[in-house]
């Protein structure tokens, strides 16, 4: 599979290289050709005008004026090559944009409306199986029921399908077998805007826009006022470091938040989601880039925020989900264990092994 993709990539790279070489060759030939034609026109004007002056058919003053005018008219043509080059590049970009706009939407929206005020937050995943193209099944006949207002944790080794569940719930991918419902309504029948409007998602792959801190937080709710933005930042334990920034909430974060540390970006993403105040909250490794002290402070805030709100916490750090109402342990696309923290430790299974490893590492670093 990898070799096949690599061969396609190599072929396309070769085509791109050849196209660039042809474009450079044409551009290199076009500039001298234009300059030669301009020079030819200027020399022709000098020659024919000179003959007319000698034959007394043209005065010297008129001849000088004509030479000046021709020079002023022909000289701008030296930039014609740059104009043509920019035009071709612009047209290529325009066609790419048009192609993107005309691309059919992969996930078709449903027709049922689901006002956020009516969402209780009950989630049911019924015998769901999912496979990425060309790979083994990521999820195999997964079933779980999350009551409205429940706080559940999902753990497992990398590649066990934890984040895929969240993406299926948001309909970033389509369920291939089985069904997922919210408050008894199958998500494929819901309008995408309503579905995603009732879910807040803090992803491990964060994205911040090139704008101010306040603008990035307000993206969770565009009509939010400054006081609401600051309140959300305080809940996410972000207010303290924001106040230390050069312009505070008006500080530009850079493309994808490059001017901030990983932990700072993560706290802004959490604040953005908290500002949205969704009935269903998904925390996908939400504290993975945060130090232990900040994590403890955020967990304290999240404990209050997630009360009576359906919360799905996906984590590698088991300390972040130990107090969940129920913990699901995934292994090879299946739910291998489930229960509360203490009973899972007692059965000495996968969860207990993960806990012992992390507890040992923590003790070693301390």
- Complete DSSP assignment for 210-259: SSBHHHHHHTT-TT--HHHHHHHHHHTT-HHHHHTSTTGGG-B--GGGTT
Query: Is residue 154 domain-resident?
Result: yes
Of 101, 135, 170, the last residue of a domain is 101
Q: In the predicted model, what is the mean pLDDT of residues 106-121? A: 83
Query: Is residue 215 domain-resident?
Result: yes
pLDDT > 90: percent of the chain: 1
Q: Is the pLDDT of residue 69 over 50?
A: yes
Please give the pLDDT value at position 73: 78
Q: Could you tell me if 260 and 360 lie in one domain?
A: yes
Q: Is the pLDDT of residue 363 over 50?
A: no
Q: Could you tell me if 66 and 148 lie in one domain?
A: no
**Measured distance CA(227)–CA(26) in Å, rounded:** 59
Higher-pLDDT residue of 36 and 191 is 191
Tokens 């916490």 correspond to: 313
> What are the backbone dihedrals phi and psi of residue 297, each rounded to the nearest 5 degrees, phi first?
-65, -40
Q: Is the pLDDT of residue 2 over 70?
A: no
Q: Could you tell me if 193 and 341 lie in one domain?
A: yes
Query: Is residue 346 domain-resident?
Result: yes
Q: Looking at 21-35, 131-145, 267-281, 310-324, which range is the least confident one?
A: 21-35
Count structural domains, the chain: 2
Please give the pLDDT value at position 32: 78
**Measured distance CA(291)–CA(84) in Å, rounded:** 54
Bridge-based pairing state of the strands 123-130 and 177-182? antiparallel
Q: ∠ CA(44), CA(45), CA(49), 5° rounding?
A: 115
Residue of 180, 201, 146 lying closest to 326 (CA atoms): 146
Domain containing 225 equals 116-365
pLDDT > 70: percent of the chain: 92
**Measured distance CA(365)–CA(294) in Å, rounded:** 17
Query: Is residue 107 domain-resident?
Result: no
Question: What is the reported pTM?
Answer: 0.69
Please give the pLDDT value at position 238: 82
Query: Is residue 30 domain-resident?
Result: yes
Termini Cα distance of the chain: 44
Q: Could you tell me if 267 and 127 lie in one domain?
A: yes
Of 52, 75, 101, the last residue of a domain is 101
Q: Could you tell me if 35 and 126 lie in one domain?
A: no
Cα–chain-centroid distance for residue 235?
24
- For residue 356, the domain's CATH number is 3.40.50.300
Q: Is the pLDDT of residue 287 over 70?
A: no
Please give the pLDDT value at position 294: 66
CB contact at 8 A, 255 and 319: no
Please give the pLDDT value at position 298: 67
Residues 6+ apart with CB under 8 A from 235: 271, 274, 301, 305
Q: Grade residue 9 by pLDDT with cuts at 50, 70 and 90.
A: confident
Query: Is residue 111 domain-resident?
Result: no
Q: Could you tell me if 64 and 130 lie in one domain?
A: no
Q: Could you tell me if 150 and 60 lie in one domain?
A: no
| Half-sphere exposure for 219 (CA within 13 Å, toward CB) | 17
Highest mean pLDDT among 37-41, 144-148, 201-205, 305-309: 144-148
DSSP string, 8-71: HHHHHHHHHHHHHHHHHHHHHHHHHHHHHHHHHHHHHHHHHHHHHHHTTSS-HHHHHHHHHHHH
Q: In the predicted model, what is the mean pLDDT of residues 236-240? A: 82
Q: Could you tell me if 18 and 46 lie in one domain?
A: yes
Query: Is residue 67 domain-resident?
Result: yes
Tokens of 89: 């590049």
Q: Could you tell me if 349 and 257 lie in one domain?
A: yes
Query: Is residue 110 domain-resident?
Result: no
Q: In the predicted model, what is the mean pLDDT of residues 184-196? A: 88
Of 101, 127, 150, the last residue of a domain is 101
Tokens of 113: 């409306």
Q: Could you tell me if 135 and 96 lie in one domain?
A: no
Q: Grade residue 124 by pLDDT with cuts at 50, 70 and 90.
A: very high
Q: Could you tell me if 161 and 285 lie in one domain?
A: yes
Q: Could you tell me if 138 and 68 lie in one domain?
A: no
The per-residue pLDDT of the chain, averaged, comes to 81
Please give the pLDDT value at position 5: 54
């Amino acid at each position: 599979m990898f070799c096949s993709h690599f061969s396609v990539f190599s072929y396309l790279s070769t085509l791109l290289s050849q196209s660039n070489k042809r474009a450079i060759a044409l551009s290199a030939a076009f500039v001298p050709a234009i300059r030669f034609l301009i020079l030819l026109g200027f020399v022709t004007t000098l020659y024919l005008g000179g003959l007319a002056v000698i034959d007394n058919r043209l005065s010297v003053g008129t001849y000088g004026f004509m030479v000046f005018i021709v020079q002023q008219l022909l000289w701008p043509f030296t930039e014609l090559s740059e104009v043509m080059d920019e035009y071709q590049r612009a047209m290529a970009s325009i066609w790419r944009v048009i192609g993107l706009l005309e691309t059919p939407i992969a996930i078709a929206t449903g027709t049922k409306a689901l006002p956020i005020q009516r969402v209780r937050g009950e989630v049911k995943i019924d015998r769901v199986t999912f496979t990425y193209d060309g790979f083994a099944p990521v999820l195999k006949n997964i079933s779980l029921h999350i009551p409205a207002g429940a706080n559940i944790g999902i753990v497992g080794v990398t590649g066990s399908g934890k984040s895929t569940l969240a993406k299926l719930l948001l309909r970033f991918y389509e369920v291939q077998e089985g069904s997922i419902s919210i408050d008894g309504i199958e998500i494929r029948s819901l309008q995408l805007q309503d579905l995603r409007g009732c879910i807040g998602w803090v992803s491990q792959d964060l994205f911040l826009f090139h704008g101010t801190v306040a603008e990035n937080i307000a993206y969770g709710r565009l009509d939010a006022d400054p006081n609401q933005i600051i309140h959300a930042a305080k809940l996410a334990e972000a207010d303290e470091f924001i106040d230390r920034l050069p312009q505070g909430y008006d500080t530009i974060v850079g493309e994808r938040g490059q001017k901030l540390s990983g932990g700072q970006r993560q706290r802004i993403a959490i604040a953005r989601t908290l500002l949205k105040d969704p009935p269903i909250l998904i925390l996908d490794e939400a504290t993975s880039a945060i130090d232990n002290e900040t994590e403890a402070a955020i967990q304290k805030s999240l404990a209050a925020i997630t009360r009576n709100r359906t919360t799905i916490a996906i984590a590698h750090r088991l300390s972040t989900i130990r107090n969940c109402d129920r913990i699901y342990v995934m292994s090879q696309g299946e739910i291998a264990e489930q229960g509360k923290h203490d009973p899972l430790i007692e059965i000495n299974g996968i969860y207990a092994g993960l806990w012992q490893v992390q507890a040992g590492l923590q003790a070693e670093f301390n």
